[in-house]
Amino acid sequence: MKKKKKANRSHTPLDKRIHQGKQIKSPFAKLDGLINWSSWSDDFLPNMLWACTLTGSLERGRYLPIFREVAVRAREHLSENKDATLCHNFLSTLQQSVFNDIFGPLALDEEVHRVISSVTLLDSMPGISLWRGLFKPSGTSQDLWNTLSRGVFACMDHQSEEATDVRWLKVAFIGICGRIIFPPDMSSAVDDILSYPNRGDMRKVRPMIRALEMSLRSAETDTDTFKSIQAFDSGPIWLEMFNKTNCLSLPNTDVKAEDRAALCSEVEEIIDQIIDHFMANIENTSINARLDATFGLVLYSLCITYELASLPSSLLASGRILLRTITENFITLSYLQLKDDATIWLQYRSYGSGQTALAFLKTSALSEAPDYIDMDRLEMLANEDIWFEAKDINLGAWANKNLRAMAQDAGVKDVYDRYYDWTSGFSHAHWGSVRDTVFTTCLNPLHRLHRIPHPMQPMPSVLTDCCKLCNRLLDGLNTLYPKFTPRIRWHKPDAVES
């Protein structure tokens, strides 16, 4: 089934980014030194945890009026304090009586009381005694942790509706206290913020709210300017939530064995037909670089696909490594097909023979050969076409250009972009590939979606992509040695058998 592109992805396309030497520069590179990066979920969400809990358990039409009520009551008590926010670190500086005046009405509502009382689980929360003095936990400890988890999850994405609502509350309170100055020509924008979310184009209002919230974060961290606050440190809160709750992960899944068996059967049939087609195209028993390379690359790819279908490895790191190999087979054959020159076919073959000889020479110099190498067989392969003592060994690329350039020349750069870059990381142990293979994301929001070891976890199967590439290789075979019509149909379940 064809995957649809995710419509709401927000990123700068590759062709719009600046290429400088061997680097692709960040879209923000020109602002280097002018931006102080901060993380909503890591650093600032926990400082509004009381509000986040409400977004995770109440309907929006219920919690937004509560936000407004709290902001208005807080203004009545705190408008003279230039450091005042509705964040935990500032609220921790209040007297219990003032705190109760602001939040007391919330404690009278049984459901709201229950939700906010989940905050009282956290010993490390600034001013926790104030919250415990007003909100008495109800329900089991697990119920409270679940409530806390729902709130964190709802607001973890900094652009989610719930997170934007909480960030709006921070902005709205400081705004109604008269501490945000807007130029006269922005009066309409001010009305949009104060009337949020019932006025204005949300495609403009929501980003404006998030930008304003970021600009006000110094009120939570700059103790030199804001004398009455304690600098907020989210680290102890995240650590406490990690220590007091368990990690969560999804169970493994697999491609059904009977489905993989069906692909194996189909590939076997095609391999048998290719062998027959090869024998029909042999003209003599001398070296034929064109014939051997064409059929060899196709059969090599089909054998890899068969191996992947035989075992669950199509879902594992080895599947990605082997998909990369099939991609290289396809690009190589496409380039050879484009040139279709006897010299270049022989050049490809001679390079491979030279690499075999090089492997033999290096292994011979070792005190002990690796167990996976059969030295007699390796020497035979090195000498098969010509005694390797009589030929040079090319240490560069066989076509004097890299695979990307070959793909461009052959008009198959789309295949290179689609399959080669990411799969190469699994061969070269790039961090992204290591992380994708042996770690999974903990699904407990209270753990900040951290990584936990989970080796052998299934990833999306490579079998469909292998089938597509093998069919394109078979197209090449048909072009060079017509007519060969069989194609793999396993990945097209709705296709009618011919």
| Beta strand pairing call for 439-441 and 19-20 | unpaired
From residue 34, alpha-carbon distances to 11, 29, 223 in Å are: 21, 10, 21
> What are the φ/ψ torsions at residue 39 (nearest 5 degrees)?
-115, 125
CB atoms within 10 A of CB 268: 12
Which residue among 244, 272, 287 closes a domain? 244
Q: What is the pLDDT of residue 16?
A: 76
Overall average pLDDT of the 65-88 stretch: 93
Distance of CA 498 to the CA centre of its chain: 40
Angle at 401 between CA 400 and CA 407, to 5 degrees: 140
Q: Which residue, among 71, 65, 63, has the nearest Cα to 178 in the 3D structure?
A: 71
Print burial letters for 455-490: b (CB count within 10 Å at least 16), e (below 16).
eebbeebbbbbbbbbbbbbbbbbbebbeebebbbbb
Q: Is the dihedral of CA 99, 103, 105, 111 positive or negative?
A: negative
Residue identified by tokens 């198959």 is 412
Alpha helices in 25-59 (DSSP H): 49-57
Residue 411 above 90 pLDDT? Answer: yes
Q: Which tens digit of pLDDT belongs to each residue from 353-375?
A: 989 888 889 998 999 989 988 99
Structure tokens at 167: 């960030």
Residues 46 and 195 in one domain: yes
From 35-44, 121-130, 309-318, the region with the lowest mean pLDDT? 35-44
In one-letter notation, the amino acid at residue 19 is H
Which residue among 211, 244, 277 closes a domain? 244
The answer to whether 108 and 135 have CB atoms below 8 angstroms apart is no
Residues 197 and 300 in one domain: no
Residues 210 and 329 in one domain: no
Q: What is the pLDDT of residue 95?
A: 95
Model confidence band, residue 252 (pLDDT cutoffs 50, 70, 90): low
Q: Tell me, yes or no, whether 458 lies in a domain.
A: yes
Residues 186 and 262 in one domain: no
User: Own/partner pairs for 238-243, CB < 8 Å, 24+ apart?
Assistant: 238/42, 238/46, 238/447, 238/448, 239/124, 240/122, 240/123, 240/124, 241/122, 241/148, 241/446, 241/447, 242/446, 242/447, 242/448, 242/450
What is the extent of the structural domain holding 128?
40-244
Overall average pLDDT of the 265-294 stretch: 94
Q: Which residue, among 488, 479, 469, has the nearest Cα to 273 in the 3D structure?
A: 488
Give Rg (Cα) of the chain. Answer: 32
Residue identified by tokens 């390797």 is 388
Q: Tell me, yes or no, whether 20 lies in a domain.
A: no
Residues 219 and 281 in one domain: no
Q: What is the pLDDT of residue 1?
A: 40
Residues 331 and 428 in one domain: yes
Q: What is the pLDDT of residue 70?
A: 97
Residues 234 and 263 in one domain: no
Three-state DSSP state, 23: strand
Residues 214 and 288 in one domain: no
Distance CA 491, CA 495 (A): 9
Between 242 and 23, residue with greater pLDDT: 242
Residue 5 above 60 pLDDT? Answer: no
Residues 416 and 363 in one domain: yes
Question: What does the DSSP 8-state code read for residue 228?
Answer: T
From residue 327, alpha-carbon distances to 79, 314, 462 in Å are: 65, 15, 12
Residue 256 above 80 pLDDT? Answer: no
Task: Give me the percent of the chain exceeding a pLDDT of 90.
Answer: 64
Model confidence band, residue 34 (pLDDT cutoffs 50, 70, 90): low
Model confidence band, residue 272 (pLDDT cutoffs 50, 70, 90): very high
Structure tokens at 23: 């680097």
Q: Tell me, yes or no, whether 394 lies in a domain.
A: yes
Distance CA 27, CA 480 (A): 46
From 64-73, 258-267, 268-277, 325-334, the region with the lowest mean pLDDT? 258-267
Q: Which tens digit of pLDDT belongs to each residue from 141-173?
A: 999 999 999 999 999 999 999 999 999 999 999
Which helix (H) or strand (E) segment holds residue 308: the answer is helix 289-310
From residue 388, alpha-carbon distances to 331, 345, 351 in Å are: 28, 19, 12
Distance CA 415, CA 330 (A): 9
Distance CA 330, CA 40 (A): 45
Q: Tell me, yes or no, whether 22 lies in a domain.
A: no
Which residue among 244, 268, 290 closes a domain? 244
Q: What is the pLDDT of residue 497?
A: 42
Q: Which tens digit of pLDDT belongs to each residue from 430-470?
A: 898 888 888 888 999 999 989 888 887 888 899 999 999 99
Model confidence band, residue 138 (pLDDT cutoffs 50, 70, 90): confident
Q: Tell me, yes or no, whether 148 lies in a domain.
A: yes
Distance CA 461, CA 196 (A): 45
Distance CA 272, CA 279 (A): 11
Residues 147 and 201 in one domain: yes
Tallying the residues shown for the chain, one arrives at 498
Residue identified by tokens 């935990």 is 88
The answer to whether 55 and 154 have CB atoms below 8 angstroms apart is yes
Q: What is the pLDDT of residue 4?
A: 46
From 321-335, 413-427, 430-444, the region with the lowest mean pLDDT? 430-444
Residue 7 above 80 pLDDT? Answer: no
Q: Tell me, yes or no, whether 21 lies in a domain.
A: no
Residues 261 and 229 in one domain: no
Q: What is the pLDDT of residue 57?
A: 97
Q: Which tens digit of pLDDT belongs to each residue from 187-223?
A: 888 899 999 999 999 999 999 999 999 988 887 877 7
Q: Tell me, yes or no, whether 4 lies in a domain.
A: no
What DSSP letter does each residue of 65-127 carry, written as one string?
Answer: HHHHHHHHHHHHHHTT-TT--SSHHHHTTS-HHHHHHHHHHHHHSHHHHHHHGGGGG-TTSTT
Distance CA 394, CA 353 (A): 10
Q: Tell me, yes or no, whether 23 lies in a domain.
A: no
Structural domain count of the chain:
2
Residue 254 above 90 pLDDT? Answer: no
What DSSP letter does each residue of 270-284 carry, written as one string?
Answer: HHHHHHHHHHHH---
Angle at 470 between CA 465 and CA 476, to 5 degrees: 135
Residue identified by tokens 């491979």 is 352
In one-letter notation, the amino acid at residue 331 is I
Residues 285 and 329 in one domain: yes
